A = this chain, B = another copy of it.
Amino acid sequence: MSDSSSATVTAALLVIGDEILSGRTKDKNIGYIAEYLTALGIDLREVRVVPDVAEEIVAAVKALRAKADYLFTTGGIGPTHDDITADCVAEAVGVGISLDERAVAMLRERFPNPADLNESRLRMARIPHGATLVDNPISRAPGFMIENVIVMAGVPSIMQAMLDDVAPKLRTGRKMLSVSVDTGGLPEGAYGTALAAVQKANPDVMIGSYPNFDGQRFRNQIVVRGRDADVLEAGRAAVEAMLQQLHAEKNEHDSKNA
């Protein structure tokens, strides 16, 4: 894993599967991959979820791999007819696809009896030409990386193992650091204008405000993000000072009206 100093490395994620769009399966991969890549020093810039439709998958692979340094995909690499990701990625990248002897060897470890390594299971050994394989320690059928596209399983535990396998091979950038400041009960509307001024005065950090509603009241977090620890700290201090002043004004106002 090379830390290429100040360079930013970006990624996109394509989640493939009718079952996510129908709501039958609740995706668990987007949040996991987002957090994982952030920790690695790769900025996730866009996520798309598309159905098991070849033209849609091919179009999304082409669009997203052009927009980011890496494109990760999840889903659609199993042995059944609706698993069409490998073929779509081959088409999008513009290479051929056929049975890969390295992948067949991996499947043989799981299915030593030749009768069990049937036509359906062999579909999982169809790999685009020129790809490197991504190890699947759980059920052996590999993922793969071709050019800047990394193809992984949809089953979360297998996807996670594949991500661990491929991560050390990726180029990474300077990590995005972040710090959260609780607003101590102050609502967004009370600090919105002041926070905009803090953002303007600290253009090298990104400041976001995130309300959380627990059914009774909002608990807000202000999140400051940036790649430089000193700049981040200056941004955090400015947010804290802004909140302190608003709390002081509020206390003064409350005591006057007591």
Contact = CB atoms under 8 A, between A and B. Distances in A.
Interface of A: 15, 18-27, 30-38, 43-52, 56, 78-82, 111, 116, 118-121, 123-124, 138-139, 155, 157-158, 176, 178, 188-193, 195-196, 199, 206-213, 215, 218, 223, 225
Contacts of A79: 188-189, 192
Contact of A22 (B32, B52, B120, B178): B178
Nearest to A19: B210
Contacts of A52: 208
Contact of A44 (B21, B47, B124): B21
A92 B185 CA distance: 35
The residue among A47, A116, A199 with the most chain B CB atoms within 10 A of its own CB is A47
28 contacts: A19-B210, A21-B45, A21-B47, A22-B34, A22-B44, A22-B178, A23-B33, A23-B36, A23-B37, A23-B38, A25-B210, A27-B30, A27-B31, A30-B49, A46-B51, A46-B56, A47-B49, A78-B192, A79-B188, A80-B188, A81-B199, A82-B199, A82-B207, A118-B190, A120-B191, A121-B192, A155-B211, A155-B212
B178 A211 contact: no
A80 B195 contact: yes
> Chain A at the B interface: mostly helix, strand, loop or mixed?
mixed
A195 B118 CA distance: 14
Contacts of A139: 213, 218
A135 B45 CA distance: 31
A120 B189 contact: yes
